Amino acid sequence: MTEQEFDVAIVGGGMVGAALALALSREGFTVTVLEARHPELRWPDEGFDLRVSALTRASQHLLDNLGVWTAIVADRATAYRQMHVWDRAGFGEIHFDAADIAEPDLGHIVENRVIVRALWQALERSEVVCCAPVKVRRLMHEEDGIEVQLDDRRRIHTRLLVAADGARSQVRELVGIESRSEPYDQHALVATVHAEHGNQETAWQRFMQDGPLALLPMRRDLFSIVWSNRPDEAERLAALDELAFNDQLTEASESRLGRLSVCSDRAVFPLRLQHAAEYVRPGIALVGDAAHVIHPLAGQGVNLGFLDAAALVDAVRAGRDARRDIGELRVLRRYERSRKGHNTATQLAMDGFKHLFSNDRPALALVRNLGLGVAGRIGPLRRQFERVALGHGIELPSLSRPRW
Ligand SMILES: Cc1cc2nc3c(=O)[nH]c(=O)nc-3n(C[C@H](O)[C@H](O)[C@H](O)COP(=O)(O)OP(=O)(O)OC[C@H]3O[C@@H](n4cnc5c(N)ncnc54)[C@H](O)[C@@H]3O)c2cc1C
């Protein structure tokens, strides 16, 4: 049986876990990543990942500070300069333009696999020990950390164990941290589609009674769609033949981009609201979807996860500078304090949006249309929307700030 020691063991090498591993290693900590599935690092040139992320400026800075942004852009990333949001039943519309706030763009749409590949390639060049495929079998608290027993019979001793293993976090379960979880009565259908009028470097979102339809620009004439709907309706749309699906999608978009035609498989994801009761325990921290899952309507999930990773790095660095053990609760609480409130506020805002827009009562329709109309005209409100898109508006952890 092999035994190894690390400062930090991270379970889950998805976008958040891989970014955190790279960041902590650059701070001089010894790090291992324990990942259940080796990520896909090669694929044919044609075709797109159905899972994409709308990255905020703060996430771009983090990836840039980790030295992977150039590789992501060289691979495939689409900047969007405008955003257009409108409502199904009324006249509420809101339009954002990067030029109005003297920004080059409002963010980037990137395939998840492109982000993961850039991070894993950087991990391969780093001191991080990546183990995949591997699974945790047992966790044991020790006096000076945690012992992690793996299914390949290895044992790892670590001062800090981080759960970055996604919404169904095994680590969260093993340590007995409760997570409030409620299904949204919506499933998201994702696909890549061709638009007759091109993408106009614009992210489009139309709110409808059963859920929002988001069209995220991918290339000149392509979009990645996230179409949230009642579960039965999402399944019905996924099973339609292409012609019928294209008709319904084009109608749902009010033909604003001309005819839309699907050019990929369609996949359906059930949507849940989830939030862990605690982010930290002695020797343990939860980050990313292991800590919180939100509705994808504002594309904030992985952006919040990257902020978690950056805040945890700040907390652990401060702990080390103060000559404390990095697994000490006092050190980890700084991380929890800096992230839990912001994640809760974002979840509540998305939840409020979802309820406001999926309700047909005339009073709410009026509020909605006034809301979009007014927000579209009043400067401060518009700027608040823009700050969310760019990931501004909170005190950012060091890694999420621009490199000077
Ligand atoms: C339809 C849809 C659209 C979305 N669009 C956006 C968007 O535009 N912008 C945005 O910011 N977010 C978006 N999100 C949310 C975003 O995808 C997630 O927030 C993000 O993937 C979370 O990253 P993560 O690294 O925390 O978890 P994950 O991506 O779930 O990664 C977890 C990793 O842990 C591994 N793992 C799991 N269990 C174990 C185990 N027991 N042991 C070891 N390893 C394990 C997995 O293999 C995986 O590699 C969207 C989500 C959905 C469903």
Condensed to tens digits (0 to 9), the pLDDT of residues 304-317 reads 999 999 999 999 99
Q: Which of 301, 289, 296, 292 is nearest to 274 (CA)?
A: 292
| Model confidence, pTM | 0.93
Helix, strand or coil for residue 238? Answer: helix
pLDDT average, residue stretch 385-403? 76
pLDDT digits (tens, 9 = 90+) for 81-98: 999 988 766 556 788 899
Give the nearest ligand 1 atom to 171 CA: 41
For residue 255, what are the contacts with CB-CB under 8 A and spacing of at least 6? Answer: none
| Closest residue to atom 37 of ligand 1, CA basis | 165
* Extended beta strands in 309-359, E state: none
pLDDT at 79: 96
Ligand 1 mean position, distance from CA 24 (Å)? 20
| Closest residue to atom 1 of ligand 1, CA basis | 188
pLDDT at 388: 61
Ligand 1 mean position, distance from CA 289 (Å)? 6
Amino acid, res. 203: A
> Which of 64-73, 76-85, 262-271, 356-365 comes out lowest in average pLDDT?
356-365
How much is the mean pLDDT over the chain?
A: 90
pLDDT average, residue stretch 331-336? 98
| Residue to mutate, 10, 53, 130, 279, ligand 1, most ligand atoms under 8 Å from C-beta | 53
For residue 9, what are the contacts with CB-CB under 8 A and spacing of at least 6? Answer: 31, 32, 34, 146, 148, 156, 158, 160, 161, 162
pLDDT average, residue stretch 114-132? 98
Ligand 1 binding site (Cβ under 6 Å of any ligand atom): 11-17, 34-37, 53-54, 135-136, 164-166, 170, 188, 190, 226, 269, 288-289, 296, 299-303, 305
For residue 258, what are the contacts with CB-CB under 8 A and spacing of at least 6? Answer: 195, 196, 197, 250
pLDDT at 383: 61
Domains of the chain and CATH, by start? 3-41+51-75+111-181+272-400 (3.50.50.60)
pLDDT average, residue stretch 209-218? 92
For residue 372, pLDDT over 70 is answered with: no
Ligand 1 mean position, distance from CA 237 (Å)? 24
The CA angle 264-217-199, to the nearest 5 degrees, is 100
Ligand 1 mean position, distance from CA 37 (Å)? 13
